[in-house]
Chain A
Amino acid sequence: MSLLEIRDLHISYPNPKGEFFAVDGVDLSIEKGEFVGLAGESGCGKTTLALSIPRLLPQQSRISAGSINFNGVDTTSLDEEGMRAFRWKEISVIFQGALNALNPVHTIGSQITEPIRIHDASVSKKEAHERTLELLEAVGIPSRRSEDFPHQFSGGMRQRVMIAMALSCMPKLVIADEPITALDVMTQAQILDLLRSLCDRYSLSMLLISHDLSVLAQTCDRVAVMYAGKMAEQGPTSKVFGYEGARHPYTQRLLSAYPNIKHERKFIDGIPGYPPDLSQEQLGCRFSDRCDVALGKCATEIPQLIDIGSGQSVACHLVNEGGAGLQ
């Protein structure tokens, strides 16, 4: 059984005309020890999906259908109290923007110690302190700096503090929401390597959210690409970025929006148009407006996510009809 299994999840937000679905019937599973990447443009629902796992969504949101099965428990049926047993102890989050997520008036050490003590009353102050120092060393911060404050650290170092905080209660799943977005290239590489090695060392599962497919290609075991609240494509990294490559036209277009220094120099492509307005009813494939290979039925029939073999699945009528989707 997978560590995490999300089935047909629907999450809605209210809007003046009723409600709209930021996540609209999404499946996603993560195995123990697996490193999964979640990609998509801003507004595609990737953060809503990810934060529904520890249920850290804004109050007005509503999980209206579907299940989130974590380690055998459907967490959607739990109340706030029940959920608290999962947050941080089982599922933790590395938030985007480390400067805003850290408390400026507390030392970094105390901010790592705090969740340990809150979530496990049996841990003594001394033990919690020792674990904090150990965690700091594990993320590449000298433990002597535990008494320093967030402002005394650079952006990259602060992100390391966030990682140590996320690991403080030894969770099974860590959700990293754009953990490297504001960092320099070299620091990005350092942080990604660190996440990867921590995953191996503590057999953690990781859900890494990024808008940057090239970052996911080099880090993840498997990738999932969302578009306008739905899953467009998912599969092993070696498949989606491999020889046969991505099959969904959206994933393909997204890939050609990045320069690739391993190939001949050419101008990057954009994707014309904008994602659909989700407050309107969506008929057919949500990408069909922007898709240059759309068929007649793409505008009227919703494509299902279909397994095309080797663990890769695609929600596209063309691919399902067998002929298209090749690069």
Chain B
Amino acid sequence: MSKKLSLAIEDLHVTYPLTGAAGKNKVARAVDGVDLQVFVGETLALVGESGSGKTSMANAIMRLIDPSAGKIMIDGVDVVPLQGKELRAMRRNFQMIFQDPFESLDPRQRVIETVMEPLAIHGIGESEAERREMALAALSQAGLRPAAEIGERFTHQLSGGQRQRVAIASAIILKPSLIIADEPVSMLDVSLRAGILRVMADLRDQLGVSYLFITHDLSLAWMFADRIAVIYLGRIVEEASAVDLIANPMHPYTKALVSVIPVPEVTSLEDRTILTGEIPSPASIPSGCRFHPRCPLFRELGEPAKCLTEDPVLHIQSNAESHRVACFFSDNKGNQ
């Protein structure tokens, strides 16, 4: 691997203590041993259902919560042990775009103040005037033009799409190498999504920003990302190039997810695999392969003991080195 890593996560664990009737001294394992790499200039989509641990991962990377174990290397530096000043200095390099632009911006601040704030915190720019210039440039880059005019508005005067662009401008003002985008377009009308994603794609192409793009929407991940990692109950179950993962899903969970992606045309509903039940609680992760209680392949193969007792690790699939799957039987069955 000669490519440079922007983000390298090693054996990350995030746990939450349980209280009350759920049991003392027990924990919910929201992220349960994840390895993940994002190369410089690359977009990796992390796809999972709610409760799969994807937002816990984002929060751990942003150091909004403390992981219980593991390393989070950003540009080669493990940010987990960093505290105080060191962490603040490092924070310039990784920024986050949140899902809800109605909650993530201060309604009493002018747009320009919102975008300039990180510069002042990090002591960037010689003067107020210089910081203002930089903020205007960022607004313009985020597609908010004329920047000078929009900059004077209050964030509550903006539409959802414009707010999300302000959030993008605030995220890029420090010129980070990595941006964590947690469902950045899911709250927006469909007609506005393309505009926001286009701005993000331009930043990737022009500034070489790397993205960890977190979403529940596989088709959006396919469209936007270079690679996709599918997370189930705190563990990556499959990882491949975006095109390969959708064209040739190997893990039974991914197969089912891909089969139910709605497309805007009339298609046969026969080939879909609809999983029954719901994702279990991270407080009671099933034994063996955590997906076995819902797995159609497990039942098809007559409930092999291996799935009940052994925990499958992510391994390279025979057909392509970049395609990795955590399933004992993904190779020999179910790929017709």
Contact = CB atoms under 8 A, between A and B. Distances in A.
Interface in A237-282: 237-238, 241-242, 253-255, 257-262, 265-272, 274
A294 interface: no
A78 interface: no
A271 B50 CA distance: 29
Contacts of B190: 41, 211-212, 254, 257-258
Contacts of B197: 267-268
Interface residues of A, number: 43
B300 interface: no
Contact of A259 (B50, B220, B266): B220
B194 A268 contact: yes
B110 interface: no
Interface string B243-282: 1001000000000111011111111010010111011000
A262 B267 contact: yes
Interface in A187-239: 187-190, 193, 211-215, 217-218, 237-238
Interface centre among A186, A214, A262, A268 (most CB of B within 10 A): A186
Interface size bucket, B side?
Answer: 35 or more
Contacts, number: 117
Contact of B246 (A188, A193, A261): A261
A257 B219 contact: no
Nearest to A275: B191
6 contacts: A186-B274, A214-B262, A217-B267, A258-B190, A262-B263, A272-B195
B39 interface: no
B143 to A, nearest CB: 11
Contacts of A189: 260, 272, 274
A185 B266 contact: no
Contacts of A242: 265-266
A156 interface: yes
A142 B163 CA distance: 44
Contacts of B275: 186
A190 B216 contact: no
Interface of B: 49-50, 159, 189-195, 197-198, 201, 216-220, 222-223, 242-243, 246, 256-258, 260-267, 269, 272, 274-276, 278-279
Contact of A41 (B189, B266, B267): B189
B275 to A, nearest CB: 5
A265 B279 CA distance: 30
A42 interface: yes
B263 A261 contact: yes
A270 B193 contact: yes
Contact of B218 (A185, A217, A268): A185
B37 to A, nearest CB: 22
Contact of B193 (A215, A218, A237, A257): A257
Nearest to B258: A261
Contact of A241 (B189, B243, B265): B265
A17 B256 CA distance: 53
A188 B258 CA distance: 13
Contacts of A184: 49-50, 216, 279
A214 B260 CA distance: 11
A257 B191 contact: yes
A154 interface: yes
Interface string A177-189: 0000000111111
Contact of A212 (B220, B242, B262): B262
Contacts of B256: 186
B215 to A, nearest CB: 11
Pick the most buried of A41, A265, A272: most chain B CB atoms within 10 A of its CB.
A265
B274 A260 contact: no
A155 B278 CA distance: 10
B274 A193 contact: yes
Given A188-B262, A265-B222, 20 more contacts: A41-B191, A185-B261, A186-B49, A186-B275, A189-B274, A190-B274, A190-B276, A193-B274, A211-B189, A237-B266, A242-B266, A254-B191, A258-B264, A260-B263, A260-B264, A261-B246, A265-B243, A267-B197, A267-B198, A267-B201
A214 B189 contact: no
Given A212-B190, A268-B193, A261 B269 contact: no
Contacts of B191: 41, 253-254, 257, 270-271
Contacts of A268: 193-194, 197, 223
B261 A217 contact: no
A93 B222 CA distance: 35
Contacts of B222: 259, 261, 265
A211 B223 CA distance: 20
Contacts of B201: 267
Contacts of B195: 270, 272
B80 to A, nearest CB: 30
Contacts of A156: 278
A309 B254 CA distance: 41
A99 to B, nearest CB: 13
Contacts of B193: 257, 268, 270
A283 B282 CA distance: 56
